[in-house]
Amino acid sequence: MHSGTTANGPCLACYTPTDTGLAVEADQLGLIQALKRLTVPEGTARIMAGRFLGDLPVPPRAIGLRVCRPCAEAAGASVDLMVNGSPVPVYDFTD
């Protein structure tokens, strides 16, 4: 992709194509909590967290997630276009 372009991909909650997303600052457990808030079932959230961060404990880090606007709003979050180099809203799940 070139700078300034967006790409559609599936929303991680409902699988609708979207070019929006957000980020979470989290370790594995925080990422699982964030995904569950976005209505991802717990078992699926655990698998996704393992794929994003591996199975070993890691320090919190920012993880970009592709999420459509309706799913984000249902979880009380906001999203922005996922454009290369542009910031998206970041939510802290480090507690």
Q: Contact, 13 vs 71, CB < 8 A?
A: yes
Question: Tens-of-pLDDT digits for all 95 residues of the chain?
Answer: 334 455 689 999 999 999 999 999 999 999 999 999 999 999 999 999 999 888 888 888 999 999 999 999 999 999 999 887 778 999 999 87
Write down the pLDDT at residue 87.
Answer: 85
Alpha carbon distances (Å) from 42 to 24, 45, 57: 17, 5, 18
Write down the pLDDT at residue 3.
Answer: 45
